[in-house]
Structure 1
């Protein structure tokens, strides 16, 4: 796939999905874990199921793998209902968080395990294992046991073992959860590279927003068994469909108010006593007097010592707290009415040269297109 090619099969009405969830519900007694899901996943996608614990994402994956069966609805793989097919006969493979490597087998034998179970010819197995070792760059570690390699290398062995049988679909259940933050970030890019090289469809379950936003072509945000929004990472971040999605993905200010005026796509939102109305662009028509929520990311808000002259929105307050994160600083600014707004700035200067500190009076400004207006 060339850099100029835009990979977006979900926007092409002629593309047929690899996976189709059709009105899929899963109940455990009185508890509904997955609630009437409709979802298409396409070939070569790196698809992320994202949500807090108990939202239904793992149950959805286990139904794909064959470890659970839907209470209602149908799951199609390549157009065929997979319900009657046992897990070991599905064109899928699953990689668990624990990796589940055999401690007594070498790296090579761990990768070859599934192929040997299928009684494939030895030359074919050897060639395929060599190919997998090259793919995950572990040729030098082929004769080592799992305890003799690092956590990141064990993760790659588990991935190679899953890919050795060339599944149409690889399911990854919190695959990087056991790694430390720095190694996890490095491994995310390795996963993306391997997925692109093999062309295998990956579906990953994670509660780590950053991980989902980094690796996935599309993200499905789940809550209480339902799909709340399914979109590309940039749309999920910039145009969340609800306050739940806005709040779950990244850092955000959510200001509640009511619509006091609308002119075409521009609205005015009254949100706090003694504060000017928010001027914003809205994607939907909102009735005057109706409740609205204005969500704006901290990095979209400029912080300055004087009132910004050109910003359509400007408020003043006092620096209550500062979170220094190295590359950026987040300022918690308390307004006269007690509301707190977070603004971020890039730390282009060293600490001693920074402009603002605790208790400083500052101005916050943002454009009318910086945030998103939501109904719920």
Structure 2
């Protein structure tokens, strides 16, 4: 049985849950969001990713109702929500600080919003129990927030945010306070909960790994603009600019000029006295056009013998080796002075490895391994 791929953004008949139409947000003279248009679909786990000050938190605050656009329209399920107060929107926000009530039990923290809406008692009881079960907190219902761990507090905040069944849940750096191991476990829990409830999640993060793990699509932002919106795989494998390639993961960049070689193949002239690099690109480049060739370290093979039968071969010298347990990253200096990173999986014991510091080595990759960029 084939599983259907979740990609509502690729279906022209799907209506977005959230639509930003030419939204600009200014604070005095400062432009925080610059003429931004974006569609987010129901049941998406959507990540806004970018450095501090890129506008991602401003977008979230506008969705939550704490800020209104200076110009443009913001629609939720087809309704313009500018000016609608936060408590009248089908939107909930989970803050970085979790903002739990310290004097209330976990149970009462989750029930808080439902009680404020004057829901019937049995309905509140049923909903809180359901949320405790969803977030695996049944055992902790009677405890106070200070009596449970940081990861459990995070789940209480999530349960409380989901209790009112919002159409949209906004998560502002939700895992910022957790250590790395717990953070990774929590990411998978979040994905499971999002899938179980079918709620649309929009997460703000500056952690690329987090965005790549949890999101159905990622919007990479810079200075109030969206540079690229795509699935994590496309953002990583097919970035549309140096900014995106460099922002996500490690990348080697060669700057040069291209000349066509026929059949989507190009030669990239990158250093005087060095053979050009051979790359493929579906996007056309003209002869002599300045371009940037980006290649991930794991796509580059490193060897002590000169490889044959491969499109690109460079020689260099090992400057540094970063041993990360499962992988090793080699920093190799080319004769041009450029430093290239190549990565290998450590499948053998360390004593069996052939390459060490100062060794002359060959770097190689095929024509389709990298991506040619025009900006």
TM-score, with length taken from structure 2: 0.99
- Whether the aligned pair in 1 keeps the contact of 2:65 and 2:83 (CA below 8 Å) is no
CA separation in 1, counterparts of 2:108 and 2:355? 59
Aligned to 2:34: 35
Q: How does 1:196-235 map to 2 (within 5 A)?
A: 196-235=195-234
Post-superposition CA distance 1:200-238 (Å, at most 9, x none) = 000000000000000000000000000000000000000
Aligned length: 375
CA separation in 1, counterparts of 2:9 and 2:127? 32
Q: Which moved more, 1:256-265 or 1:34-43?
A: 256-265
Q: How does 1:93-104 map to 2 (within 5 A)?
A: 93-104=92-103
Post-superposition CA distance 1:16-35 (Å, at most 9, x none) = 00000000000001110000
Aligned to 2:293: 294
- Whether the aligned pair in 2 keeps the contact of 1:262 and 1:288 (CA below 8 Å) is no
Q: Secondary structure at the match of 1:101?
A: coil
CA separation in 2, counterparts of 1:30 and 1:196? 41
2:321 is the counterpart of 1:318: no
- Whether the aligned pair in 1 keeps the contact of 2:17 and 2:76 (CA below 8 Å) is yes
Displacement after TM superposition at 1:261 (Å): 3.3
2:288 is the counterpart of 1:281: no
Q: How does 1:1-376 map to 2 (within 5 A)?
A: 4-376=3-375
Displacement after TM superposition at 1:319 (Å): 0.2
Displacement after TM superposition at 1:3 (Å): 6.9
CA separation in 2, counterparts of 1:339 and 1:323? 18
Q: Which moved more, 1:246-255 or 1:261-270?
A: 261-270
CA separation in 1, counterparts of 2:118 and 2:72? 36
Displacement after TM superposition at 1:264 (Å): 2.7
When residues 3 and 136 of structure 1 are mapped into structure 2, their CA distance, relative to the original with a 3 A threshold, is: farther
CA separation in 2, counterparts of 1:309 and 1:14? 50
Q: Secondary structure at the match of 1:176?
A: coil
Structure 2 stretches lacking a partner, 5+ long? none
CA separation in 2, counterparts of 1:227 and 1:261? 31
- Whether the aligned pair in 1 keeps the contact of 2:260 and 2:285 (CA below 8 Å) is no
CA separation in 1, counterparts of 2:103 and 2:2? 43
Post-superposition CA distance 1:37-87 (Å, at most 9, x none) = 110000000000000000000000100000000000000000000013100
Post-superposition CA distance 1:115-160 (Å, at most 9, x none) = 0111111111000000000000000000000000000000000000
Q: Secondary structure at the match of 1:112?
A: helix
Q: Secondary structure at the match of 1:259?
A: strand
- Whether the aligned pair in 2 keeps the contact of 1:283 and 1:373 (CA below 8 Å) is no
- Whether the aligned pair in 1 keeps the contact of 2:58 and 2:67 (CA below 8 Å) is yes
Q: Secondary structure at the match of 1:303?
A: strand
Displacement after TM superposition at 1:260 (Å): 3.0
TM-score, with length taken from structure 1: 0.99
Q: Which moved more, 1:296-305 or 1:279-288?
A: 279-288
Post-superposition CA distance 1:277-333 (Å, at most 9, x none) = 100001211111111100000000000111111110000110000111111000000
Q: Which moved more, 1:132-141 or 1:260-269?
A: 260-269
CA separation in 2, counterparts of 1:356 and 1:143? 58
